[in-house]
């Protein structure tokens, strides 16, 4: 048996404050893709999403000791890495001799420091499907040699060995669909309250990589070149989600779902031929949108878009290499309002060249737009990004505790700003946006079930305490 683990992390660790379940839980599709590849290879696989299951380390290890696996794989982001490492160290003590592999964004961003912790035998950077499959054949079946496995780091007797080559998959259509059938309870996964209309709602990724150069974004895992699953592949997976799992809504999680408009049209033309209909949401960029495309999307069931704006100052946008203009954002927001597509704008406070004036401009810009929702996080330079490399040139940066790299804690403070000022402005952002009668009415309109009402109430209480605490 091979065990793939998404380690436990509390909502307080992930979001910088205890928010319970209102932030939702997204299915960690990465390890479900790995599981699908191993199943295709004829292996026995178990996936344990300890975060969604609220399974603390001790309980997880007890479960594994009852039926020890032959190999353990752990995925981790930077904010979760302390937990991933402590879990690996506990597994080493309790299950000596079982190889432990680390993968995910943090390993890709900081491979050598990760391997030098001594907690892991192997590490896989970038995409893991091919490397993990070959590593399993090596460790369990004695096939191949480690030096020939791409993307594979090794650690033994204090010596860390990097891979001979690092590569991306050329044809992602060869990857099987995520092995969702291994999840015993798919109801564990749902977006945050207000981010879905109908249940069951399931998430889907239809491409890998992003061609844009945003300095704050870590694209090392999938690269700066977008590789698309074909329209036919996407439609087959959607048919499985609808037919096998009863999905009534789909959340497309691609960074730029609308990038290839020809493929977008083909996907929904094929779905129309199959008479498959569902409501859906996606992430996109303002510069990828035009009225005709948005109308097509609305006609095909799109009811909500999530758009990265980041700042209301054009010089700041240019500095962070966002590649959009304020005018493009205004147009996209106006078109969405006309088409009755709800829109969430994502903003950040504390860019490298932010000043009190540019932050205020960002707040005023957000208030001028007909967005349904906003998310205003704290700029957090993540390892592996240009933002991280330039952080100390433009301000102070404290990375002593990686659990603070959660986008809500000011670990980076630009010159001329203070931690307290950034938190005050974040609170003002939320308070001024949401404490408007029209916006409050739109929030009430999202409540479509008793469960949604409970979550909305919790969200309101948390929001009020958040505003009051930082006011």
Q: From first to last of the 471 residues of the chain, give the pLDDT tens digit.
A: 999 999 999 887 877 665 555 667 889 999 999 999 999 999 999 999 999 999 999 999 999 999 999 999 999 999 999 999 999 999 999 999 999 999 999 999 999 999 999 999 999 999 999 999 999 999 999 999 999 999 999 999 999 999 999 999 999 999 999 999 999 899 899 888 778 899 999 999 999 999 999 999 988 889 989 999 999 999 999 999 999 999 999 999 999 999 999 999 999 999 999 999 999 999 999 999 999 999 999 999 999 999 999 999 999 999 999 999 999 999 999 999 999 999 999 999 999 999 999 999 999 999 999 999 999 999 999 999 999 999 999 999 999 998 899 999 999 999 999 999 999 999 999 999 999 988 888 777 766 666 556 665 556 555 555 555 544
Q: Which fold has domain 2-161?
A: Rossmann fold (3.40.50)
CA distances in angstroms from 206 to 97, 153, 203, 235, 292, listed in the order given:
38, 28, 10, 10, 22
Task: Decide: helix, strand or coil at residue 171.
Answer: coil
Q: Cα–Cα distance between 250 and 258 in angstroms, integer? A: 15
Predicted structure pTM score: 0.93
Burial class (CB in 10 A: 0-12, 13-18, 19+), 23: middle
- With contact defined as beta carbons under 8 Å apart, do 370 and 337 qualify? yes
Length of the chain: 471
CA distance 247 to 264: 20
d(CA 107, CA 155): 13
Based on its alpha-carbon atoms, the radius of gyration of the chain, rounded to whole angstroms, reads: 22
**Do the beta carbons of residue 413 and residue 394 sit within 8 Å?**
no
CA distance 83 to 387: 24
What are the boundaries of each domain within the chain? 2-161, 190-470
Are residues 72 and 28 in contact, defined by beta-carbon separation less than 8 angstroms?
A: no
Q: Which CATH architecture has domain 190-470?
A: Alpha-Beta Horseshoe (3.80)
Contact 446, 456 (CB under 8 A): yes
What is the helix, strand, coil percentage profile of the chain, to 5? 45, 15, 40
């Amino acid at each position: 048996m091979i065990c793939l683990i998404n380690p436990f992390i509390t909502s307080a660790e992930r979001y910088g404050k205890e928010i319970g379940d209102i932030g939702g839980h997204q299915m960690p599709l990465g390890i479900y893709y790995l599981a699908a590849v191993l199943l295709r290879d004829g292996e026995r696989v178990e996936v344990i999403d300890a975060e969604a299951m609220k399974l603390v380390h001790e309980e997880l290890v007890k479960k594994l000791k009852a039926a020890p696996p032959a190999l353990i794989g752990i995925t981790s982001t930077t904010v979760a890495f302390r937990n991933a490492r402590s879990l690996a160290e506990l597994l080493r003590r309790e299950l000596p001799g079982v190889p432990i592999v680390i993968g995910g964004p943090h390993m890709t961003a900081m491979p050598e420091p990760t391997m030098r912790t001594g907690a892991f035998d192997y590490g896989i950077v970038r995409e893991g499907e091919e490397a993990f499959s070959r590593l399993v054949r090596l460790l369990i079946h004695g096939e191949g040699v480690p030096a020939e496995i791409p993307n594979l780091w090794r650690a033994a007797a204090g010596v860390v060995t990097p891979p001979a080559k690092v590569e991306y998959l050329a044809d992602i259509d060869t990857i099987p669909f995520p092995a969702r059938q291994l999840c015993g309870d798919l109801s564990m996964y749902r977006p945050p309250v207000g981010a879905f209309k109908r249940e069951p709602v399931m998430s889907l990724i239809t491409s890998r990589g992003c061609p844009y150069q945003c300095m704050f974004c870590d694209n090392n895992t999938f690269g700066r070149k977008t590789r698309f699953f074909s329209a036919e592949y996407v439609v087959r997976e959607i048919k499985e989600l609808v037919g096998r799992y009863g999905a009534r809504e789909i959340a497309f999680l691609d960074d730029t779902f609308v990038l290839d408009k020809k493929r977008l049209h083909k996907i929904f033309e094929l779905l129309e031929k199959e008479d498959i209909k569902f409501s859906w949401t996606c992430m996109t960029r303002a510069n990828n949108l035009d009225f005709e495309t948005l109308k097509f999307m609305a006609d095909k069931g799109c009811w909500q878009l999530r758009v990265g704006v980041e700042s209301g100052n054009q010089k700041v946008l240019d500095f962070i290499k966002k590649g959009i203009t304020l005018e493009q954002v205004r147009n996209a927001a106006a078109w969405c309002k006309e088409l009755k597509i709800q829109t969430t704008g994502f903003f950040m406070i504390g860019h490298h060249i932010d000043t009190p004036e540019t932050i205020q401009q960002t707040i005023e810009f957000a208030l001028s737009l007909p967005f349904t929702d906003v998310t205003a996080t704290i700029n957090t330079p993540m390892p592996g990004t240009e933002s991280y490399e330039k952080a100390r040139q433009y301000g102070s940066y404290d990375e002593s505790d990686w659990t603070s790299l959660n986008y809500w804690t000011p670990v980076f403070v630009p010159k001329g700003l203070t931690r307290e000022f950034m938190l005050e402005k974040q609170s003002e952002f939320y308070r001024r946006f949401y404490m408007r009668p029209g916006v409050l009415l739109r929030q009430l309109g999202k409540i479509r079930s008793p469960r949604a009402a409970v979550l909305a109430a919790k969200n309101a209480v948390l929001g009020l305490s958040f505003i009051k605490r930082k006011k």
